């Protein structure tokens, strides 16, 4: 996280660079990259000489591509972010097929043209907003055309999730990337790490003296990490049918939330020190064996229901979904971290589409008091819970018991709340922060190659077991609820309950 002090030159703060987006005509570019670039440009956070080259299959002209980005920036800028700015002056589009060498020759001459007109450093960001199978072809083409090495400048490759489809393809993708780019130039993106409240997990733990002494098995009973979404699969069934919730949300977002919550303090506030600690957490996760998956994981798929007062179809009725699909749209997973800090403290992770509402939170539930001398009549003694509200109502809250004023002893749980809104600073989208970090060469909020592979390793036994066994119970939760009943029983057998979201 780039908080380093010292004076930096204008070129370091706002390096003139060319952002080459592969998959530029796709949804991600319009929905997420366009608003982020427009904001960075509006706020003067990127160089006046920042240029964009979009590459995709759609036959756009430069002007049409600019209009496509402009529309995206306008449509997907939340009202809290103010008006999106203009795009950088230089926006170029190249249409073509990634398999054709000729496309990359055109890219080379376009890049060199922009760079020589600009003068100075030849900084290039290659952004892979493409599915993993296309990534390999592109990397190979960049290598072949010698586009990935440059004198007088830097090269950075940003790779979108999903990072492969499973452990084998994730490893293969790393191998191909590393054959052309050194690890120092690879930025595997997970937009959750760009969220302010996700970065705040690190700050809350390591910039405050009071939490860390309690942050271990002696005081914590268990941790719940929930990423609930009210949206369904939308128009992404083509991708989702072969991905499912574990690949789409757990391999990246949920395991990232887990590593930040569970990691040891790093030796320094620096990318490799932090990422090394996150990797250690993943390495300490107790491996599942295929035979015991049902004790550790529950899957679900939504049926028809009502979300936000509107009737919605079940997953199997969504366009382009197999009417007998086994794809899970919900999962709850129990994770044991076998290390000194977390021995005996289960981490329960859950995520699903078409749940009752959109909420992401990390809840730390503390152990009860060692001796209860208050009588039952004194009221409910509930455990202390520290909740990190990641979205949408960003904040932190702590639950504790207080005495209700009066002549009899009555205890009641209350909440001490910090809403981020109180700071009055709008919370920017994750992509802005992450793109800016790429221009500054800061890899802290990006996933290292071994980290991506370890995340796949954790989930592989569950993915394999579920792939082998169809789910006769699907659909097993109605849209608008909070997941299948089996997920409730899953926690009840440990004597615990999911927190109400």
Choice between 30 and 161, CB closer to ligand BG6: 161
Cβ at position 240, least distance to ligand BG6 in Å: 7
248 binds ligand BG6 (CB under 6 A): yes
Secondary structure class of 255 (helix, strand, coil): helix
135 binds ligand BG6 (CB under 6 A): no
Residues 145-184 that bind ligand BG6 (CB under 6 A): 161
What DSSP designation does 285 have? Answer: B
Choice between 68 and 161, CB closer to ligand BG6: 161
CB 449 within 8 A of CB 183: yes
Angle formed at CA 414 by CA 413 and CA 417, multiple of 5 degrees: 145
* CB-count burial class (<10 Å; 0-12, 13-18, 19+) for 33: buried
Task: Look at residues 135, 443, 154 and name the one whose alpha carbon lies nearest to residue 272.
Answer: 443
* Phi and psi at residue 421, to the nearest 5°: -55, -30
The catalytic residue among 68, 165, 191, 253 is 253
Task: Give me the 227-246 binding string for ligand BG6, x by CB under 6 A, dash otherwise.
Answer: --x-----------------
Choice between 161 and 389, CB closer to ligand BG6: 161
Pinpoint the alpha helices (H) of 145-270. Answer: 167-180, 196-206, 237-245, 255-262
Choice between 248 and 365, CB closer to ligand BG6: 248
Choice between 215 and 482, CB closer to ligand BG6: 482
> Count of residues binding ligand BG6 (CB under 6 A)?
3
* Phi and psi at residue 113, to the nearest 5°: -60, -50
d(Cα 303, Cα 119) in Å, to the nearest integer? 58
Choice between 248 and 437, CB closer to ligand BG6: 248
Beta bridge partners of 125: 19, 156
Cβ at position 238, least distance to ligand BG6 in Å: 13
Choice between 93 and 163, CB closer to ligand BG6: 163
Cβ at position 146, least distance to ligand BG6 in Å: 33
Cβ at position 229, least distance to ligand BG6 in Å: 5
Residues 190-229 that bind ligand BG6 (CB under 6 A): 229
* CB-count burial class (<10 Å; 0-12, 13-18, 19+) for 113: exposed
Q: Taking the CA atoms of 29, 176, 195 and 122 in sequence, report the sign of the dihedral they define.
A: negative
Is 253 in the active site? yes
d(Cα 288, Cα 434) in Å, to the nearest integer? 33
Cβ at position 145, least distance to ligand BG6 in Å: 31
Cβ at position 93, least distance to ligand BG6 in Å: 25
d(Cα 136, Cα 155) in Å, to the nearest integer? 17
Task: Give residue number: closest CB to ligand BG6.
Answer: 248
The tokens for 19 are 């952002």
The tokens for 294 are 């049902």
Choice between 118 and 247, CB closer to ligand BG6: 247
The Cβ-side half-sphere exposure at 378, using a 13 Å CA radius, reads 12
Task: Look at residues 158, 88, 91, 92 and name the one whose alpha carbon lies nearest to residue 127.
Answer: 158
Q: How many helices (DSSP H) and strands (DSSP E) are in the chain? A: 15, 18
Residues 26-45 that bind ligand BG6 (CB under 6 A): none
Cβ at position 351, least distance to ligand BG6 in Å: 9
Cβ at position 360, least distance to ligand BG6 in Å: 6
Q: Which residues are catalytic?
A: 253
Binding site for ligand BG6 (CB under 6 A): 161, 229, 248
């Amino acid at each position: 996280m780039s908080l380093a002090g010292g004076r930096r030159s204008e070129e370091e703060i706002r390096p003139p660079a060319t952002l080459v987006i592969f998959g530029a005509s796709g949804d991600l570019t319009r929905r997420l990259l366009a608003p982020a670039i427009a904001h960075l440009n509006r706020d003067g956070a990127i160089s006046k000489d920042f240029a964009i080259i979009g590459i995709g299959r759609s036959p756009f002209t430069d002007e049409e591509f600019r209009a496509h980005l402009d529309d995206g920036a306008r449509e997907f800028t939340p009202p809290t972010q103010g008006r999106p700015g203009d795009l950088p002056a230089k926006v170029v589009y190249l249409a073509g097929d990634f398999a054709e060498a000729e496309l990359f020759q055109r890219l080379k001459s376009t890049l060199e043209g922009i760079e020589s007109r600009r003068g100075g450093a030849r900084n290039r960001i290659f952004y892979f907003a493409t599915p993993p199978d296309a990534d390999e072809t592109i990397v190979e083409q960049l290598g072949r055309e010698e586009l990935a090495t440059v004198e007088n400048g830097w090269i950075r490759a940003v790779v979108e999730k999903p990072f492969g489809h499973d452990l084998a393809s994730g490893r293969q993708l790393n191998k191909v990337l590393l054959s052309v780019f050194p690890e120092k130039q690879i930025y595997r993106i997970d937009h959750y790490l760009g969220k302010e409240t996700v970065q705040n997990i690190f700050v809350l733990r390591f910039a405050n003296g009071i939490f860390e002494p309690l942050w271990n098995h002696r005081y914590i009973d268990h941790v719940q990490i929930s990423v609930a979404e009210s949206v369904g699969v939308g128009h992404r069934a083509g991708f989702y049918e072969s991905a499912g919730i574990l690949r789409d949300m757990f391999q990246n977002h949920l395991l990232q939330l887990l590593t930040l919550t569970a990691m040891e303090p790093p030796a320094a506030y620096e990318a490799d020190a932090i990422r090394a600690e996150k990797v250690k957490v993943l390495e300490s996760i107790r491996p599942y064996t295929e035979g015991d998956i049902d004790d550790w994981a529950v899957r679900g798929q939504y049926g028809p229901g009502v979300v936000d007062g509107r009737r919605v179809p079940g997953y199997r009725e969504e366009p382009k979904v197999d009417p007998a699909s086994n794809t899970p749209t919900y999962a709850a997973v129990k994770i044991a971290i076998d290390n000194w800090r977390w021995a005996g403290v289960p981490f329960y992770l859950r995520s699903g589409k078409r749940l009752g509402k959109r909420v992401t939170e990390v809840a730390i539930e503390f152990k009860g008091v060692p001796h209860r001398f208050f009588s039952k009549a004194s009221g409910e003694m509930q455990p202390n819970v520290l909740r990190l509200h990641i979205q949408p109502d960003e904040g932190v809250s702590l639950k504790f018991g207080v005495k209700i004023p009066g002549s009899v002893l009555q205890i009641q749980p209350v909440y001490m709340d910090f809403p981020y809104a109180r700071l009055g600073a709008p919370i920017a989208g994750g992509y802005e922060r992450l793109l800016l970090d790429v221009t500054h060469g800061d890899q802290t909020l990006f996933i290292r190659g071994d980290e991506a592979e370890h995340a796949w390793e954790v989930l592989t036994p569950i993915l394999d077991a579920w792939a082998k066994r169809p789910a006769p119970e699907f659909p097993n939760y109605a849209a608008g609820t909070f997941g299948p009943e089996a997920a409730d029983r899953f926690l009840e057998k440990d004597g615990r309950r999911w927190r109400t979201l």
